[in-house]
Amino acid sequence: MARLYSKKLFVLCVCLSASFFLIITLQVLMELSHFERKQEDHNYKPKQTIQAANPWTPIGRPGDPSSQYPVIVWWSPLTGETGRLGECGEYRCFFTINKTYHGHPSTQAFLFYGTDFNVDSLPLPRGVHHHWALFHEESPKNNYKLFHEPVVALFNHTATFSRFSHLPLTTQYLESLEVLTSHTHLVPLSRKNLLRASLAPVVYVQSDCDPPSDRDAFVRQLMKYIPVDSYGQCLHNKELPAYLRDSTTMEEPGFYKILAQYKFTLAFENAVCDDYITEKLWRPLKLGVVPVYYGAPNIRTWLPAEMSAVVVSPNESPEKLAELLKELDGDDEEYEAYLGWKYRREVTNQNLVAEMRRRRWGIQDVTKDSHIDVFECIVCARVWENINRQEKGLAPKTWRAEGNHLTCPPPRTFDFAVGPTSRSSLRGFWRPSFEQSKKEARALRLFAQRNANFTVEEFWKQVFRN
């Protein structure tokens, strides 16, 4: 009987706890929806009054995280979360993609995903306490205007591929040093030599054709002097098995197995910028294939060892590169010199070792936060730093992005004749686009300094006035 009474008491406690939790949750949702309805009912427009110097004071509605904690809005959404209380060590911030929070008394920061950064919708007017933060790990071709100082300097915090940004993402495609030194996919050279009867010495896999780096023009010329198996849509001349023809299968074991059989991989980036390094470099290094690399001019800062890749100079001809690759293809000892670090399982580049050790985020690692989580928490911690300074009567600390937090030189095309290109080729598009983006950056800076909303028509009039 006593045991039955205990079970009933336990069930009653569980029910009461669940009811209490449900009441609190409903209260949070009602408070959040109350604020959103208020904004919508009044045809909400941001008020100039938010420019007063620092207005964050918890308004203290019980159970409403957007009232008890600083609000950080993903203005160009990356996470897709309508509302979440983020835990950042000793700090907490409320993250949302709801733009009606622009005028919320607790809103302190706006986060932007660079590829989706749009001039037709910006959180203006901007209060002097409002932090702007940029997350942009993608190629410059996705949004050229961000790569000019007038726009970069609008942001307080940055996470970009540049080693100079507040959160460098240079190694965003490298899981760990262990995957570089692993022999999991390594094919013995004796086997590669036998496969040369049916395979070219060089492989190329690209389906993003004619990008700003002009890589297809170079490879097309290279193909005149050395055999290249091209599996992608660009310069296509060899078929993958049907189950590997989708771009989503490029990390599949079957795809790795095919690439690992080659001696060289053409690892040509779509843009040529310092620190812009993608899986095009790391994949062949993981597989035990020598990358023939064209991209980041400072790539030697990041290679696992001094002789781990053939680095292409834009000033050297494809014919000269072909001569070198043929020489290495025919000389096992010379070729294996590029794999010595792999055989020894040793990364000798101390800069790369140090970067991976101090990296606070992980890739496909459930024991570590993602780079997005870490960036959110950097902004959250800095927001709280200024809140704490205000409480002590100190002036707020100011962070500013520098021009080198996101920069890239103008795209260039190779000057040798490339023959006919398709009507859809973008080869002649990138340089004019880059030059126009300078005008767009100046126009955007002007409107941001005016600190008032503007229309798309006004923006483009200013661009072409420039």
Segment 268-319, tens digit of pLDDT = 999 999 999 999 999 999 999 999 999 999 999 999 999 999 999 999 999 9
Same domain, 269 and 344: yes
Per-residue pLDDT of the chain (466 residues; tens, 9 = 90+): 444 344 444 444 444 444 443 443 334 334 444 444 444 333 333 333 233 334 455 544 545 666 689 999 999 988 778 899 999 999 999 999 999 999 999 999 999 999 999 998 899 999 999 999 999 999 999 999 999 999 999 999 999 999 999 999 999 999 999 999 999 999 999 999 999 999 999 999 999 999 999 999 999 999 999 999 999 999 999 999 999 998 888 889 999 999 999 999 999 999 999 999 999 999 999 999 999 999 999 999 999 999 999 999 999 999 999 999 999 999 999 999 999 999 999 999 999 999 999 999 999 898 999 999 999 999 999 999 999 999 999 999 999 999 999 999 999 999 876 665 555 678 999 999 999 999 999 999 999 999 999 999 999 999 998 6
> Tokens 């962070």 sit at which residue?
399
CB 273, CB 142: distance < 8 Å: no
Q: What is the CATH number of the domain that holds 350?
A: 3.40.50.11660
Q: Classify residue 448 as exposed, middle or buried by CB count within 10 Å of its CB (0-12, 13-18, 19+).
A: buried
Distances (CA, A) of 46 to 39, 155, 189, 452: 10, 20, 65, 10
Where a domain ends, among 310, 331, 357? 357
User: Which residues have CB under 8 Å from 21's CB, separation 6+?
Assistant: none
> From the CB of residue 190, how many other CB atoms can be counted at a distance below 10 Å?
9
Tens-digit pLDDT profile for residues 401-421: 999 999 999 999 998 766 655
Reference 208, options 241, 229, 226, 235; nearest CA is 235
Q: Which domain holds residue 408?
A: 45-171+361-466
Cis peptide before 55 (omega within 30 of 0): no
- For the chain, what's the residue count? 466
Task: Please count the structural domains in the chain.
Answer: 3
Same domain, 312 and 415: no
Same domain, 222 and 335: yes
* Lateral strand order in the sheet of 131-136: 84-88, 91-96, 71-76, 107-113, 131-136, 157-160
What's the pTM?
Answer: 0.85
Residue 132, helix vs strand vs coil? strand
Same domain, 5 and 34: yes
Joined together, the tokens standing for residue 333 give 């000892």
Question: What is the rounded average pLDDT for all residues in the chain?
Answer: 87
CB 52, CB 67: distance < 8 Å: no
Same domain, 245 and 326: yes
> In 332-343, which positions are buried (b, 16+ CB within 10 angstroms) versus exposed (e)?
eeebeebbebbe
Joined together, the tokens standing for residue 412 give 């260039």
Same domain, 72 and 137: yes
Residue 136, helix vs strand vs coil? strand
